[in-house]
């Protein structure tokens, strides 16, 4: 009897080793193929975790779910953020896409002064203390944030309004960026100091298909200084930090690598630049994470997904600085067998062979 890729993933018994991902982030070759994913979906969480997915309203059960899922999936870490910490914006219409102008709550200096800024110190340390003894052996926590500097400013101000604000009232624009950036900095300072945390993800979408959301000069004035401080804070704690950011980064790769000094970069799209091309360009300067284009993973056969994933691992076998995963995340519409075909390309080297 043949075994599907999903059967193989579900039946293997992984031995996590966070040092493998640390080698990738140090731009070295790990001892065996290594996986990286930002997040998946409730259906896959239920399948890999062996029970229905739960939400952040039950934070310890939510973390336990992630721990089971990431361990069974063959990852060397478990992702988490602190439930309850975030920036309050007006409710947005929920659909397959969202408007970058909907939900704005800061329009002028008066609304800025009224805004209830969150305190990242409330509950953050306590959350990490509660989950520390729930991390599976061999794994570490990777802490991610409630959106990033630019994402949260856009949710508070709106994209069109932000563009006008930068032109008409740059001091107010700076104040909003500082309000968000300073609190995210404190969040990452707290997270990076925890013994159970092995790395951080700074998740902040910066671009569209053809260009950054703001002009590079404005990104360098308002956005990048806070990212630079976040990265420096995580580095002071002795931990690496990963940028998850969608969009075309062609104009800002040097900022990401040489100025902000991220250790790894996640999120790639074939329509912008295939991960193979980005790895050849930048793999010696920054770790390249994921990159199996979502459209490709969705539309291709499992065998084609497996072949491309294997080829990417072989491409990086000597140089290292690569961990396998999707280009962005694993939404509901990704076929489970295709997802499993991708991950099996890495897992088969460290799993027992299934026989009929």
**271 part of a folded domain:** yes
The tokens 């062996």 sit on which residue?
A: 50
**95 part of a folded domain:** no
**250 part of a folded domain:** yes
In 3D space, the residue among 171, 251, 240 whose CA is nearest the CA of residue 212 turns out to be 251
**183 part of a folded domain:** yes
Domain limits for position 316: 5-90+100-350
What's the order of all strands across the beta sheet hosting 140-144?
Answer: 77-80, 140-144, 197-203, 241-244, 264-266, 287-289, 322-323
**Overall domain count for the chain:** 1
| CA distances from residue 201 to 76, 78, 187, 197, 211 in whole angstroms, order as listed | 15, 12, 12, 11, 22
pTM assigned to the model:
0.94
pLDDT digits (tens, 9 = 90+) for 132-151: 999 999 999 999 999 999 99
**299 part of a folded domain:** yes
| Per-residue confidence (pLDDT) for residue 355, from 0 to 100 | 41
| Per-residue confidence (pLDDT) for residue 123, from 0 to 100 | 83
| Per-residue confidence (pLDDT) for residue 1, from 0 to 100 | 39
What's the pLDDT band for 210 if we cut at 50, 70, 90?
very high
**216 part of a folded domain:** yes
Q: How far apart are CA 90 and CA 351, in angstroms?
A: 48
Least confident of 18-22, 129-133, 158-162, 349-353: 349-353
**283 part of a folded domain:** yes
| Per-residue confidence (pLDDT) for residue 347, from 0 to 100 | 97
Supply the CATH number for residue 202's domain.
3.20.20.210
In 3D space, the residue among 290, 299, 305 whose CA is nearest the CA of residue 333 turns out to be 299
298 in Cβ contact with 41 (< 8 Å): no
| Per-residue confidence (pLDDT) for residue 148, from 0 to 100 | 98
Q: How far apart are CA 162 and CA 113, in angstroms?
A: 17
**181 part of a folded domain:** yes
């Amino acid at each position: 009897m043949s075994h599907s890729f999903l059967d193989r993933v579900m039946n293997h018994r992984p031995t996590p080793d966070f040092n493998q991902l640390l080698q990738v982030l140090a731009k070295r070759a790990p001892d065996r193929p290594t996986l990286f994913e930002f997040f998946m979906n409730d259906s896959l969480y239920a399948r890999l975790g062996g029970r229905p997915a739960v939400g952040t309203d039950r934070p310890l059960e939510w973390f336990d779910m992630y721990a089971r899922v990431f361990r069974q999936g063959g990852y060397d870490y478990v992702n988490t953020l602190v439930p309850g910490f975030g920036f309050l914006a007006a409710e947005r219409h929920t659909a397959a896409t969202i408007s970058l102008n909907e939900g704005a709550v800061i329009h002028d200096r008066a609304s800025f002064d009224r805004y209830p800024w969150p305190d990242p110190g409330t509950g953050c340390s306590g959350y990490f203390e509660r989950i520390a003894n729930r991390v599976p052996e061999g794994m570490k926590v990777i802490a991610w944030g409630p959106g990033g500097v630019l994402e949260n400013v856009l949710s508070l101000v709106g994209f069109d309004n932000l563009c006008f604000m930068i032109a008409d009232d740059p001091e107010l624009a700076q104040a909003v960026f500082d309000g968000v950036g300073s609190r995210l900095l404190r969040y990452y300072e707290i997270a990076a100091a925890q013994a159970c945390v092995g790395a951080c993800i700074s998740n902040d979408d910066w671009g569209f298909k053809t260009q950054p959301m703001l002009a590079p000069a404005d990104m360098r004035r308002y956005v990048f200084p806070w990212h630079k401080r976040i990265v420096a804070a995580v580095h002071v704690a002795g931990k690496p930090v990963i940028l998850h950011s969608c969009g075309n980064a062609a104009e800002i790769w040097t900022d990401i690598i040489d100025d902000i000094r991220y250790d790894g970069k996640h999120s790639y799209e074939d329509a912008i630049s295939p991960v193979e091309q980005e790895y050849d360009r930048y793999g010696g300067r920054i770790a390249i994470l994921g990159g199996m284009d979502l459209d490709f993973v969705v539309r291709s056969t499992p065998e084609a997904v497996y072949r491309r994933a294997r080829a990417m691992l072989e491409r990086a076998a000597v140089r290292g600085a690569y961990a396998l995963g999707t280009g962005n995340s694993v939404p509901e519409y990704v076929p489970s067998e295709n997802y499993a075909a991708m991950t099996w390309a890495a897992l088969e080297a460290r799993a027992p062979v299934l026989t009929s």
